[in-house]
């Protein structure tokens, strides 16, 4: 599901089962990530699929990338693997108005 930054942040903050997921490359993450995010690089193909398949399906995943395109694809893959609660950040980190670490 695609959410605006405002929707994504407010829903995430109210969610006790929230997990932040950054699907960018390691080099991109080195330039800054949203605090608390775990990184699983979507460009790693089967390794990405295996890592997603191993995630706790009872959690809610707030997914982002650089622009929102890869994270949208990641949410589709997550849905196919039985994770129905994946939320894509529209605009990605390039439009992010919050802090990065």
Residue 65 annotated among the catalytic residues of the structure: yes
Strands lying side by side in the sheet with 2-3: 2-3, 86-89, 60-64, 18-22, 38-39
DSSP bridge partners of 73: none
Q: What is the pLDDT of residue 27?
A: 97
Full-model pTM: 0.97
| pLDDT tens-digit series, residues 44-95 | 999 999 999 999 999 999 999 999 999 999 999 999 999 999 999 999 999 9
From the list 33, 65, 83, 89, the catalytic residue is 65
User: What is the CATH class of 2-95?
Assistant: alpha beta
Task: Note the pLDDT of residue 11.
Answer: 97
* pLDDT, tens digit (0-9, with 9 covering 90-100), for 1-50: 999 999 999 999 999 999 999 999 999 999 999 999 999 999 999 999 99
């Amino acid at each position: 599901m695609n959410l605006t930054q405002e929707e994504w942040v407010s829903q995430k903050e109210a969610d006790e089962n929230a997990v932040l997921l950054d699907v960018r490359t390691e080099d991109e993450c080195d330039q800054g990530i949203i605090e608390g995010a775990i990184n699983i690089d979507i460009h790693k193909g089967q390794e990405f699929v295996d890592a997603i398949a191993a995630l706790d399906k009872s959690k809610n995943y707030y997914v982002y990338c650089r622009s929102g395109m890869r994270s949208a694809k990641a949410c589709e893959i997550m849905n196919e693997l039985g994770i129905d609660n994946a939320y894509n950040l529209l605009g990605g980190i390039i439009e992010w108005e919050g802090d990065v670490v």
